[in-house]
Amino acid sequence: MLRFRGSQHLRQRLVCATLSGRLIRIDGIRERDESPGLRDYEANLLRLIEKLTNGCVVEINETGTSLRYKPGFVTGGSGLVHDCGTSRGIGYYLEVLVCLGLFGKKPLAITLRGVTNDALDPSVDVWRSATLPLVRQLAGMESGLALKVLRRGARPDGGGEVHLTVPLAARLPPVSMADEGMVKRIRGVAYSMRVSPQASNRLVDGARGVLNALLADVYVFTDHMAGAEAGSSPGYGLALVAETTAGRLLSAEAVSPAQLQGHEEAAMPEAVGRSAAHALLEEISRGGVVDSEHQGLVLLFCAMGPVELSEVRLGPLTPHAVRTLRHLKAFFGVTFNVRPEAASRTIFLSCIGTGLRNASKRLT
Amino acid sequence: RAAALFSARGGDLAAHIYGVPATAEPQGQDAAALRGHVAKNKDGESDSDEELFVPRQRSSSGGAACDAEDPEAPDTVRDALDEAHLAGWGDPGAAERLRDRFVTGDWEAAAQR
């Protein structure tokens, strides 16, 4: 059994525990907090994992500060529905679903309801335009992995709905991503719901004002949803993806504040568009084959990969990536070789994977 | 400490990453994360009862997100970006520094990266 402390990195602890089949125990979850114990979204995540797997055992103490998790087998299946609540965005749950769904018994098809676009978690637009293409590259699959946005939902009331399908992976190919390439085009989605349809165009104007100085090939789709498709709260935002000559994708986004009233000045659509463009420039300047949000995901796929050398090049490591490296060592015994390159301020990380196989899929 | 994470330092980066284990074995208590918290607890115990039940004040989520050792760090892949730092990209000439990372820049300079 592996023992941990604190609420940090809970999602990946659960994912790694399930994939490696190891029992974990976490103590001291927010024990010195005003409201100690697991949060509602964490309990919701555990319910989602129970839905997805067969035979898992979750034990939580009375105060919610200790959690014992015995993983089961991932079953997957279609026709699943889950209400993600409004505390965290749907992006919070998607990472778990995609990582586990690849190693299930049946292909996963699930409908999720909740907040689709949020500042704390990657929005469904980033998932659709950057994360899923990345997972397709990492898992070596052409099609089958898809996310469809049926309704958008902003904070605070949500009301969004998405449909996710995840195919099965027998085993993963080695990862070799050392070439960054140069940014050749920038694409994006400007979305708005329950506000004037003009907001999307103003978002695009703000972003183009910054990006067109560097590149002419900037195209942002506008997506204004109205009526039942717009969810329960007003909001707007912009997700941008830079595509490089080596086929790498770097994403960044900005969203309007959760409460639009009282933040009119800071939340002018032009200002939100500009800050999305600034965030994208920051990601490009950091370097690496993925942006800072996806570092942990790439490292996880390297560790789960075959018993061969996998190598990636990343920008400065985020705290999440550092925690991921520590957890991969604890769960899979994978230690990465870290080689910083001073001139470009990037880091080459390489490892020998564990050769994780889908236990329920026979190799022929 | 946060600055150390973002700097591309030499060989001690690996030591920085793997110096702190992810697991917390109860008998060892050697994790730096634990040590920090035990020390904090001892400081609190010495004083009056009023301080006994003072909950630990959380700094803003932005500050906490930048600390890989904090056991209660928020569980998000998103790195809390400093808004003032981001706004720096709006300064005239700031974006121009990235010119060679775009296809509109110098391809030979980019190939040397």
Asked, colleague to colleague, whether A183-284 and A291-352 share their fold, the answer is no
Q: Give the per-residue pLDDT at B64.
A: 41
- Return the number of other C-beta atoms located less than 10 Å from residue A352's C-beta: 18
φ and ψ at B64, to 5 degrees? -70, -35
DSSP state of A128: I
Which stretches does DSSP call E strand in A98-248? 106-114, 146-151, 160-166, 176-177, 183-193, 218-225, 235-244
The answer regarding whether domain A183-284 maps to CATH 1.10.3720.10 reads no
- Considering A358-362, B43-47, B76-80, B90-94, the range whose residues carry the highest mean pLDDT is B90-94
Both tokens of residue A49? 């994992």
Alpha carbon B42 to chain centroid, angstroms: 25
3-state SS record for chain B = CHHHHHCCCCCHHHHHHHCCCCCCCCCCCCCHHHHHHHHHHHHHHCCCHHHCCCCCCCCCHHHHHCCCCCCCCCCCCCCCCCHHHHHHHHCCCCHHHHHHHECCCCHHHHHCC
Chain A: residue whose CA lies nearest to B28: A3
A335 neighbourhood in chain B, CB within 8 Å: 18
Strand order through the sheet with A67-70: A2-5, A24-27, A67-70, A57-60
- Return the number of other C-beta atoms located less than 10 Å from residue A214's C-beta: 21
Q: Give the per-residue pLDDT at A362.
A: 63
Closest CA to A6 of B15, B47, B20, B2: B20
User: For A231-293, where are the alpha helices, taking DSSP H only?
Assistant: 269-286
Write the residue in B31, B68, B101 that is nearest to A322 by C-beta. B68
Q: Do A278 and B89 touch (CB under 8 A)?
A: yes
Task: Give every CB contact of residue A213 below 8 A, 6+ residues apart in sequence.
Answer: B95, B96
* Domain ranges (residues) in chain A: 183-284, 291-352
Q: Do B78 and A30 touch (CB under 8 A)?
A: no
- Chosen for mutation from B77, B89, B97, B103 (greatest number of chain A CBs closer than 10 Å) is B77
B94 neighbourhood in chain A, CB within 8 Å: 281
Write the residue in A285, A326, A347 that is nearest to B98 by C-beta. A285
Both tokens of residue A29? 């979850």
ipTM for this prediction? 0.86
Q: Say what percent of chain B tops pLDDT 90.
A: 8
Q: Do A11 and B26 touch (CB under 8 A)?
A: no
Alpha-carbon distance values, A148 to A123, A128, A362 (Å): 13, 8, 30
Write the residue in A182, A282, A325 that is nearest to B86 by C-beta. A282
Both tokens of residue A130? 């950057």
CA distance A214 to chain B (A): 7
- The answer to whether A283 contacts chain B (CB < 8 Å) is no
Q: Give the per-residue pLDDT at A305.
A: 94
Q: What kind and span of H or E run contains A78?
A: strand A76-83
User: For A182-294, where are the alpha helices, taking DSSP H only?
Assistant: 198-211, 269-286
AA identity, residue A279:
A
Predicted TM-score (pTM) of the model is 0.90
Q: Do A182 and B33 touch (CB under 8 A)?
A: no
> What is the length of chain A?
364
Q: Do B73 and A32 touch (CB under 8 A)?
A: no
Q: Do A183 and B78 touch (CB under 8 A)?
A: no
CA distance A63 to chain B (A): 16
The answer to whether A158 touches A118, Cβ cutoff 8 Å, is: no
AA identity, residue A53:
T
A3-24: b (≥16 Cβ within 10 Å) or e: ebbbbbbbbbbbbbbbbbebeb
- Return the number of other C-beta atoms located less than 10 Å from residue B57's C-beta: 7
- The answer to whether A11 contacts chain B (CB < 8 Å) is yes
3-state SS record for A294-338 = HHHHHHHHHHHCCCCEEEEEECCCCHHHHHHHHHHHHHHCCCCEE
State the average pLDDT over residues B58-69: 52
A245 neighbourhood in chain B, CB within 8 Å: 103
Q: Give the per-residue pLDDT at A266.
A: 57
Q: Give the per-residue pLDDT at A306.
A: 94
B59 neighbourhood in chain A, CB within 8 Å: none
- The answer to whether A180 contacts chain B (CB < 8 Å) is yes
Residues 81-100 of A with CB under 8 A from B: 92, 95
State the average pLDDT over residues B7-21: 74
- Chosen for mutation from B66, B102, B106, B107 (greatest number of chain A CBs closer than 10 Å) is B102
Q: Give the per-residue pLDDT at A309.
A: 96
Which of the four pLDDT bands, split at 50, 70 and 90, describes residue B52? low
Q: Do B9 and A325 touch (CB under 8 A)?
A: no
Bridge-partner residues for A54, per DSSP? Answer: A73
- Return the number of other C-beta atoms located less than 10 Å from residue B112's C-beta: 9
Q: What kind and span of H or E run contains A24?
A: strand A24-27
Q: Give the per-residue pLDDT at A279.
A: 95
Write the residue in A4, A214, A327 that is nearest to B99 by C-beta. A214
- Note the pLDDT tens digit of each residue in B101-113: 999 999 898 888 8
Q: Do B55 and A335 touch (CB under 8 A)?
A: no
CA distance A145 to chain B (A): 21
- The answer to whether A40 contacts chain B (CB < 8 Å) is no
The answer to whether A232 touches A157, Cβ cutoff 8 Å, is: yes
Task: Give every CB contact of residue B108 below 8 A, 6+ residues apart in sequence.
Answer: none
CATH architecture, range A291-352: 2-Layer Sandwich (3.30)
- The answer to whether A307 contacts chain B (CB < 8 Å) is no
Long-range contacts (CB closer than 8 Å, 24 or more residues apart) made by A265-269: A268/A202, A269/A192, A269/A199, A269/A200, A269/A202, A269/A203, A269/A206, A269/A236
Give me the residue label for tokens 């958008």: A152
- pLDDT for B29 beyond 60: no
Between β-strands A53-54 and A73-74, what pairing exists: parallel, antiparallel or unpaired? antiparallel
- pLDDT for B43 beyond 80: no
- pLDDT for B24 beyond 70: yes
From first to last of its 364 residues, chain A has per-residue pLDDT tens of 999 999 999 999 999 999 999 999 999 999 988 999 999 999 999 999 999 999 999 999 999 999 999 999 999 999 999 999 999 999 999 999 999 999 999 999 999 999 999 989 999 999 999 999 999 999 998 888 999 999 999 988 999 999 999 999 888 999 999 999 999 999 999 999 999 999 999 999 999 999 999 999 999 999 999 899 999 999 999 999 999 999 999 999 999 887 666 666 557 899 999 999 999 999 999 999 999 999 999 999 999 999 999 999 999 999 999 999 999 999 999 999 999 888 888 999 999 999 998 877 765 5
